[in-house]
Structure 1
Amino acid sequence: MTDIEQSTKSLENLPTEILINILSYLDEKDLYAVQATCRRFLEIINDEELWKNLFISRIHTRLFPSFSRSAKYSVEYVERNRGLSEWKHNRAVKTKFTVTTQNQNNQLEKMVFEYPRCACYSDGVIMLVQLHSRRRKDRLTYMPCTTPHGCSTMHFNINAAVFGRFDGRVFGKLLTNKSHLCPVTEFNAIHSSSVTAITTSALEDSPEDWCVSGCKSGQVIWWCEAKKRNAIQISDKPILRLALHKDLTVIMDSQQVYVVDKMDNVHKLDIPSNLQLSLVTSLSLHFEVDFGGKLLILGDMAEIYVISINPHQDFGFTKSIHIPDLIEKIFIDDITSKRTQDASVAGGDGCYLGILTGDNSVAIINVRAPGSKLRIQTKLSFVERVHTAQITNLVMVCAFSGSLGIFDASSGTELRVVRKTEKFPQFLGVSHGRMIVGSGNVLHYLQYSDQDFRQKKSGLSQTNRSNKWNEVLNSQLDLYNEDENSRIKELERKERLRQKFVGDLDDEEIQLEIALIESQAASEQFQGTNAQLSPVGQDEELQRAIEESRLAYENLTIPEHLDEDAELLRAIQQSQEEENIQRRLRRSHRRVGPLGEIASSSELSNRLSSPEIEISSVDIGRREAYDEDFEVARALSMQDMR
């Protein structure tokens, strides 16, 4: 047995708990290699306890927000590492938007980012950026939204902008339908006093847009599509804060918090005394609601309180944590906070809260973690000033002067730093693996998530597109070659026909050739018929054929400048016809007898003098004269041709 086999055998003999503890320090790829060595290691690596220990060894807790929404820690671990790897290694695709308003000097006041939309508000104008639009000119939509005169409070989200006035009137503008082309609309009822708080709900799966407003006298009104649905006189003190999500409404005045379920069932709880003091002295109060876990997060400059607002379980249960440094801002994972908690998934489906403090540090707390106390899971300190920050269930993003820092929200590990961003960032949004950072009227849109996958997919589609293009190109080339071959064959066929039939009929030489061909055809036809006629009939047919040929030729259209050639043609034709006649006459002198002998001249003369055939001396003289004329004409024509 080798040393490796002995060491493997000794590891196998260790207790399972020890093996799990040892293997929990290995990386994922090392675990896949170890599980192939033996059956026991395979069973241990497929045990969920090992993957729980992997989380403990890396982030020191088993409680964290779920990324994969799976009940298995092994799946959560793999998916979480994949997501972090995308943020770390993928190339950022940057797009710059300059959001202008009617007044070029106006700056953006509010920005809300929920991919694929980004909404920006400036006094008098709302700009909606459609990030998924392929055509750049269709990405920006400008909507008039003049702030009502005497506005005392407002709220702006991705679905609507609502305003409350000092006289109790409420105005709003919806962004989810064609009404965004209309001006700001006044709601159909008013408060009894000045509006002090107002908010809207941003529900992706709801066909209606809801709004709730509170006034100085403690009245709360629920609105749906600019129409009053319900009203409650919930307090005698001014309403300071409001939060709305689905059927749950959270209302706060200077002393109490009211949790209203379905606009009817009201549950009350007292605000911690030190927070009441902060409200009385007009100090800043931090206010966030985790609707998924039904938790209210309140804080002042040194304390953070997490209060249960679940009417059916632990209502009013409070946990707190003291922050030694000045609390400047708190920010919650907005997407997770609106998603109902599922404790059965890996990590318990927690929700992260970030706390930005005056010493330029950011602390991260899981507000859904069980227990009686809150605990800081990760704390990061920076040299550069953090202007603003956002957190998700996977990463935390901090905006510095001219750069962005991306960190693992669970462990605080730095993933990457993005350079050349805004020097004084005012707005920061993170949604679905994408970020928007901006200041003034300039927004920078950055994409990270799934870049490698999209690039591979794009490369694959490009390859497929290239293959399809090659197939189409080859088929088109085949068709072209076939057409070209057909065209060449047709040209060759026409050339052969032209050579055979003398081609184009407009040529003067072809006209002459056609006349000669017709004359020869007529002569041959005459010879064929003349073989069965008597000499007198032959002469008559011969004269008739000559006359018809002459008339047919005279009917041909010959240009004026070819008159001399036409005369020459007539002479040649006539000479050929006469020569054919003379040839036939010569053949007639040699006749073959019945037994194959050649007839003598006396026999021929007897035949000619027979009653069947009578040839007069006048006819013979006419033939002789005709032969002389023929010879003269032929000589003249030959001389002209020379």
Structure 2
Amino acid sequence: MESNAADQYEIQPPGSPLPLELLMVVFRFLDPGSLKNMALVCKTWYRLSKDNSMWMQIFKERFSSIGSVFPRVSRTRLWRTELIERETLIKNWKKGKGVHNTYNLESLFYTTDLQCDFKTNRLISLNKNTGNLVTCSLNNGANIDLQPSTIPSGTTAYAMSKHSIVFGRWDSKVFGSLINHKNILLSGIKEFKGAGHRGMVTCVNVNQTELGKEGKIGAITGDENGTIVGWDLKKGAQVAHCKICEATIAKVDSDYKDVIVVLDTQGALYVVKNMFNVFDCTPEVHELQVSLEINPQNVMFMKMYVDYGDSNIVLIDENTVEIISYRDNLVRRFVTEEPIYKSSLEQNSTAFTKRDVELVGTDPLFLAILLKSGRVLVINVRAYEYQIRPVLDILPRLAYEDDDYQRVVAINQNVDLPALSEIAINSLVVAVGSYNGKIEFYDITTGEFFRKIAIKSSSKMLQQVGSQLLPITNIVMDQSLSAGVVAYGSMVQFFKFGDFYKELETKRKKKNFKERKYSNNHIKEAIKDYEYELHEEAQTASRLQKYNGDHLEDSDEELQMALALSMSINETSVGSQEQDDDLLVAIELSKQII
């Protein structure tokens, strides 16, 4: 149990000339850099830096408007750590110096699917209409690699990750390929091996976090006969299959560790377990006995998210959000007054990490909803209330200040265009995109405006588009840094704010230098070991040739010769100590040959 700082130190900490209340005021006004180093001032301040209850009080006073439930920037129970990292990121998002690198993927023309790997600095972009697939450097668009017409004819469903892409066809066949293995675009879509499906493939899901080992399930497909199949992406072969129901599989999702969630076209939900067990792969199918208000006719077009950390399934219909707990069979609903246009779950690992309510902010999971009018609502998926209330309700400036949008709507009054085209969130920021490259960023808990950026279009794209509105199609943000990627049309912009990113890059360079230095030393040691082995082999061959002859077919004869030589050496005084040693070694070698 945490102790109160004022009770622990009474009124004044021992060895400090200042009372605790005054020290807390001082700490409250320190910048993130000073907060990191304050523990080095003296022993008293070091002890205070470890007082979690005091820092919780300082945090709540500093962020009095965010409440007690909020997404944590750092997965920790230490309020001082959360305070430092949150202050740093907010400072970068609001006032940090921005770096914007814009590049044009002309060969793609239009981006429909985007995957970003901030760790390896790699971007993968797909145009599902033409089948063109492009990979390049994330931060500047360099090292472009194009793979044209990757989508097989007759494709009915597909899914893409940072590592692979998988297609399902009307004739039950499944195709796929690794697309970004060790930063190399791998060409050639191949048919997967196995019994597979016996009907049209209706849905595909791919592991978004990692490629996985050989023999492990890395992708799951569902068909019109109610069967799901697990595939090994490295081998391109079937690993497991399971009959779920008689209806068509509409959606499938998995954490690729223990749980698979299936939604069929009748609106029934299933949870499949034990399909990833290598030793006893006997799937266990459980149908959730819940009453849903979704329209079965819209199932194929619904958005489904799964919170594996707290056992929740999120289904989004036209104006209804239903959250189903597959642990307790409870249903919670959130109904909007107008149609839902887009939605986004937190772009981080929270949904795949077991919930820990002892963490700072009680470890919630936020879902952002973009309505057709441009209004943005944020709800907590892990809030156990029957009627869920939004934690944030804002109307971004872009919804009514975008001149391009207002001009098109004024000219074409019959055009039914949503005010905003894209939304994305992480643990700190809500990003909304409009048309022709305009994006705004807001605080996810308070709705405070952070900043606005705009992507400059190329002259070629402006000629192609003319006076039309080109919507933002993808917004991807780094889960831990003030950086991200925005795409519209064939234009892509990488952005980063503040010095925090530079510090991280410096640390990465130092780490890479150490790794290269270690690698070079390791190679030198390996060369030395190899040279030593060659020397030993040469010496062994020399001894065998000297005492046993060049031919080793008759080992008995060689042993007798070695023993005779040994006896002759004992009887004579001629010879050197070095020859005696070599002879002994030769005798031992002859014994080993026997």
Measured against the shorter chain, the TM-score band is 0.5 to 0.7
Tell me if structure 2 keeps the 8 A contact 1:155–1:163: yes
SS at match of 1:274: coil
Corresponding residue to 1:394 among 428, 435, 438: 428
SS at match of 1:376: coil
Is 1:331 matched up with 2:380?
no
Deviation at 1:176, TM superposition (A): 4.0
Report the structure number with the largest CA radius of gyration: 1
Q: What's 1:113 paired with?
A: 116
Aligned residue identity for 1:156: M
Q: What's 2:489 paired with?
A: 440
The equivalences for 1:466-615 within 5 A come to none
Deviation at 1:295, TM superposition (A): 1.7
Is 1:268 matched up with 2:284?
no
Q: What's 2:160 paired with?
A: 156
Deviation at 1:281, TM superposition (A): 5.5
Corresponding residue to 2:267 among 245, 255, 270: 255
Deviation at 1:27, TM superposition (A): 4.6
Is 1:131 matched up with 2:148?
no
Q: What's 2:404 paired with?
A: none
Q: What's 1:90 paired with?
A: 96
Tell me if structure 1 keeps the 8 A contact 2:168–2:201: yes
Structure with larger RCO (C-alpha < 8 A, sep 6+): 2
Tell me if structure 1 keeps the 8 A contact 2:97–2:498: no
SS at match of 2:82: helix
Q: What's 2:223 paired with?
A: 215
SS at match of 2:111: coil
- Partners of 1:108 and 1:124 in 2: CA distance: 11
TM-score, L = length of structure 2: 0.65
Distance 1:214 1:303, change over 3 A: same
SS at match of 1:347: helix
SS at match of 2:360: coil
Which structure has more helix as a fraction of its residues? 1
Structure 1 segments unaligned to the other structure (5+ residues):
1-10, 13-17, 462-642
Q: What's 1:305 paired with?
A: 322
Deviations along 1:174-221, one digit per CA (max 9) or x if unpaired, are 124389534211111331111111111123373356111111110111
Deviation at 1:172, TM superposition (A): 0.8
Deviations along 1:381-435, one digit per CA (max 9) or x if unpaired, are 1342321111001211111234221122122211222234566322221124322
Deviations along 1:462-499, one digit per CA (max 9) or x if unpaired, are xxxxxxxxxxxxxxxxxxxxxxxxxxxxxxxxxxxxxx
Distance 1:159 1:24, change over 3 A: same
Aligned residue identity for 1:75: T
Distance 1:137 1:78, change over 3 A: closer
Deviation at 1:451, TM superposition (A): 4.7
Q: What's 2:536 paired with?
A: none
Distance 1:45 1:282, change over 3 A: closer
Distance 1:307 1:42, change over 3 A: same
Distance 1:339 1:326, change over 3 A: same
Deviations along 1:271-290, one digit per CA (max 9) or x if unpaired, are 54311xx2235684231112
- Partners of 2:297 and 2:210 in 1: CA distance: 37
Q: What's 1:475 paired with?
A: none
TM-score, L = length of structure 1: 0.60
Is 1:416 matched up with 2:426?
no
- Partners of 2:472 and 2:149 in 1: CA distance: 25
Tell me if structure 2 keeps the 8 A contact 1:289–1:337: no
Is 1:185 matched up with 2:190?
yes
Tell me if structure 2 keeps the 8 A contact 1:55–1:62: no
- Partners of 2:72 and 2:211 in 1: CA distance: 22
Q: What's 2:372 paired with?
A: 358
Is 1:229 matched up with 2:239?
yes
Aligned residue identity for 1:446: F
Equivalent residues, number: 434
Tell me if structure 2 keeps the 8 A contact 1:90–1:452: no
- Partners of 2:152 and 2:110 in 1: CA distance: 19
Q: What's 2:72 paired with?
A: 66
Structure 2 segments unaligned to the other structure (5+ residues):
1-10, 13-19, 276-282, 400-418, 458-469, 511-594
Aligned residue identity for 1:236: E
Q: What's 2:552 paired with?
A: none
Distance 1:163 1:421, change over 3 A: same
- Partners of 1:221 and 1:301 in 2: CA distance: 30
Deviation at 1:235, TM superposition (A): 0.5
Is 1:346 matched up with 2:380?
no
Is 1:426 matched up with 2:439?
no
SS at match of 1:368: coil
- Partners of 2:391 and 2:138 in 1: CA distance: 34
Q: What's 1:613 paired with?
A: none
Is 1:381 matched up with 2:395?
yes
Deviation at 1:51, TM superposition (A): 4.1
SS at match of 1:183: coil
Aligned residue identity for 2:293: N
- Partners of 1:153 and 1:170 in 2: CA distance: 10
Aligned residue identity for 2:166: V
